[in-house]
Structure 1
Amino acid sequence: MAGKGTLQKRGPNSWKLTAACGLDAEKKQIRKTKTITVEQTCELKSCKGCPKMKRCKARGEAEKQLALFVDEIEKGTFIEPTKLTLADFVERWLRDYGETNLAPKTLHRYKGILTRVLQAMGHIKIEKIRPTHLLEFYANLQEDGIREDGKEGKLSEKTILYHHRVISSILNDAVQWQVIPFNPASRVKPPKVPKHQATCYDEEKVAALLTALEEENFKYRVIVTLAIATGLRRGELMGLEWQDIDFDKSTLEVRQASQYLPGKGTFTKEPKNETSKRIISVPASVVALLKQYKVYQAQERLKVGELWQGSERLFTTWDGRPMHPDTISKWFPKFLAKTIIHKPCNKVIGNVTHCPHCEKPVKKEELIKLPPLPFHGLRHTSATLLVGQGIHAKVISERLGHSNISTTMNIYSHFIRRADVEAADKLEELFTTKVDQK
């Protein structure tokens, strides 16, 4: 149990706090100390013999701090000053927590973010980091020329917010490990990120896309079709093996994902979260396509012979190794850029004046050009198609493998509202018809 404690003046507004904390194993007195700075100033070197000591505002402020100091010790919440810099703690955090608890890709992203953070604040003692340090750092990230990829402009709000979340997560662990008393990042308002509507295709664009796929490599055709039909993430698609497809029940099981990291190559990992492990139903036409694709892959495997690497993945390289996840992401935008559909014959044509299929003059209003869409946009497309069909958000959330339904509602709120308006319009048609009949 701590005593009342003592004060020692160290400077005009600096004081040393001391509290006795019992005896150690050798019966010696244990003392804890803390140096503080108060707002009030007193130029005297010592309080000894000062007639104004009881009325001194500087000493009064120091006495309040001493009482709080003693109270912290008695409650066991006092954390002794540390010489650890932020860089020292981050090194320990990565070793004791990050390396064993973070997914490889997350750890890779954290290390990339922390390189920039430590360049700015790594030298500061972790207990001395204040909200103002973070605010200055975030302001610096918004300056032109800060990007490491050589591109002009500042970092996006989303990237700055990610910096904040990484810093806050690590400092929160520092609090839990009793290295610092509070998390300064919790006292900083994170950067606001504008909410963007999910990028996706409507039914007409999906129909055009499926038409265009008929003339493409069978493997890519299956990947894109399966992405639309299931809403799987890219890594989940690349992680699929034939044992995950149940042709009798028309279902697909997600139990692993494929990722790539520089220096590590392509590797297999657990899905994003526990709810990402799921079994979902697949449309009958897509199951039929998968059956055709399995036969196609077996034929390609026979052509390779002994060079086949033995992978059971659905999507592989020419010699059977797991397909690089970036391959489809690089191929997809190139495929979209060259795709032009002629509506009258529903065929893919190039930049021509006469359609080679129906031999009719090509009119601009009869063309469907597929706008740019990232491959991940097919996942959003799958979800919005289901919204348009009136499927409950809970079912959509489970198919997508979201951790909770609120994630689904937040991402697709615009499309859900639009579907709600369409539902009201249909009801209005019903009511109007009833009134007209009267």
Structure 2
Amino acid sequence: MPMYEYQKGGKTHYYYAFEVKDTNGDRKTIKKRGFTGKTECRAAEREARVAWEKGSYIDPSTMLYAEYANNWLEAKQDISEQTRYVNEGHLKNHILPVIGNIPLQKVKVNHIELLIKTLQEKVLANGKKLAGGTIKKIYNLVQTSFKAAVQKEYIIRDPFTLLDKGSKPQAKKANVDYWTKEETKEFLNSFEHRQKILFILAIYTGMRRGEILGLRWKDVDLENGQLRISQILAFKSKIKDGAKTLAGNRSISIPPIVVAELRKHRTVIIQEKWEAKDKYKDHDLVVCGKDGRPVSWSNFHKFWIRRLEKTTVRPIRFHDLRHTCASLLLSAGTHPKIVQELLGHSSIKVTLDTYSHMMPNIQADAVKNLEKMLT
């Protein structure tokens, strides 16, 4: 078996090498390094021989980045279905059109610099440029793919190591937008709809989109004014146990007005269930279609946009209703720890980092109280 040992980082690694003849009768060596075990190396060598005999073998020295990147992403097992979908979109729409046709082993630092420049100057169909956070994520995806290529010994040197620090894209802190008290009241008073409960829950509780769409009646205690977050509606309308984070699994107190709105909404759901009869798919969801099925992310987004278009209130993202909840609570003097628990942040540091600019009155009151203590 043409398998050999070599040392790397003080550890024994393996590579295979065997000779073949191409269509012209010329001899060439097929070789691949980077294996940490003999069994893995033998299996890869057998696959390479079979691929060569079938005519499907690809020489790493001629492999295009597009082929490598697609195979690398497909083989990754440590990412969610949603992350895979997003990354596939980044590859197809932003990365491969720029560097996809370059052989992997010939991608240089200037190609990476061109990719960054192209991303920063790209204008989307809506007339807007790519957000800084998106550019940073795309950059990280490509960088990770090249790190893996070095580990697999497809390439000797990672071109990212030669990139000037000043050339690397920096993600700016996301803007936190929110409605004022007046804007919030104007929006809530501007319409009635069977799904209005969506916005009431977002504003009064700060729940995330997936938490609202995954909320079940069994997790609603109207008598005691409590909600429990125990599942979410995830990617592709899949119900997922637990919240987005460990801290997201929480109980939320709701005021009487939300209890009243939930009671009214439940009456609507019961009526729709009766009218649909056998066609109703009961998932026990608070927010659902008229047939009981979960509301898809895309339909939810379209509904939100339509509601914004029918009101005179300044447009914001739906997620900004969560920020609106936090803003209104903090402006009313609510302790940040309470806001952290309500929103399900992993730590109070996240809450303070996100909303510290909303708390000037808290700081002012603190120093005034200190003055009163000492005078």
TM-score bucket (shorter structure): 0.7 to 0.9
| Structure 1 residue ranges (4+ consecutive) displaced by more than 6 angstroms after TM superposition | none
Q: Normalised by the size of structure 1, how large is the TM-score? A: 0.63
Structure-2 residue corresponding to 1:162: 137
Unaligned residue ranges in structure 1 (runs of 5+) = 1-24, 33-70, 340-368
Answer with 201-210 or 178-187: which moved more: 178-187
Is residue 109 from structure 1 mapped to residue 86 from structure 2 by the alignment? yes
Q: Secondary structure at the match of 1:288?
A: helix
Among candidates 344, 362, 365, match of residue 420 of structure 1: 362
Larger radius of gyration: 1
The verdict on how the C-alpha distance between 1:248 and 1:305 changes in structure 2, with shifts beyond 3 A counting, is: same
CA offsets 1:174-211 (integer angstroms, 9 cap, x no match): 45666556654466443134445311112232233333
Q: CA RMSD in A?
A: 3.6
Q: Identify if the C-alpha distance between structure 1 residues 160 and 72 changes in structure 2 by more than 3 Å, giving closer, same or farther.
A: same
Q: How far apart in 1 are the matches of 2:353 and 2:144?
A: 23
2:186 maps to 208
Number of equivalenced pairs: 327
2:287 corresponds to: 315
Give the TM-score normalised by the residue count of structure 2. Answer: 0.72
1:268 maps to 2:239: yes
What is the identity, as a one-letter code, of the residue corresponding to 2:86? R
Distance 1:396 1:172, change over 3 A: farther
- Does the alignment pair 1:398 with 2:341? yes
Structure 2: distance between partners of 1:406 and 1:110: 29
Match of 1:140 in 2: 118
In 1, the alpha carbon distance for the partners of 2:278 and 2:217 equals 20
AA matched with 1:92? N
- Letter of the 1:206 counterpart: T
Aligned-partner SS, 1:280: strand
Structure 1 residue 415 displacement after superposition: 1.2
Equivalent of 2:65 in 73, 82, 86: 86
| Structure 1 range deviating more: 186-195 or 73-82 | 73-82
Q: Which of 207, 214, 217 lines up with 1:232 in the alignment?
A: 207
> 297, 301, 307: which one pairs with 1:325?
297
User: 2:108 and 2:350 mapped to 1: Cα distance?
Assistant: 32
Aligned equivalents of 2:297, 2:152: Cα separation in 1: 38
Cα deviation for residue 425 of structure 1 reads: 7.7
Contact 1:164 1:185 in 2 (8 A): no
Change (3 A) 1:323 1:154: closer
SS in 2 for 1:220: coil
Q: Is the 8 A contact 1:253 1:280 kept in 2?
A: yes
The aligned runs of 1:16-415 (5 Å cut-off) are 72=8, 74=10, 80=33, 83=61, 85-97=64-76, 100-115=77-92, 116-126=94-104, 128-143=106-121, 146-147=122-123, 149-152=124-127, 154-174=129-149, 184-185=159-160, 188=163, 189=165, 190-212=168-190, 215-217=191-193, 219-259=194-234, 261=236, 266-269=237-240, 271-339=243-311, 369-415=312-358
Compared with structure 1, are the counterparts of its residues 232 and 73 closer, same or farther at alpha carbon in structure 2 (3 Å cutoff)? closer
Give the distance between the partners of 1:254 and 1:183, measured in 2 at CA.
44
For 1:394 and 1:182, how far apart are their aligned partners in 2? 47
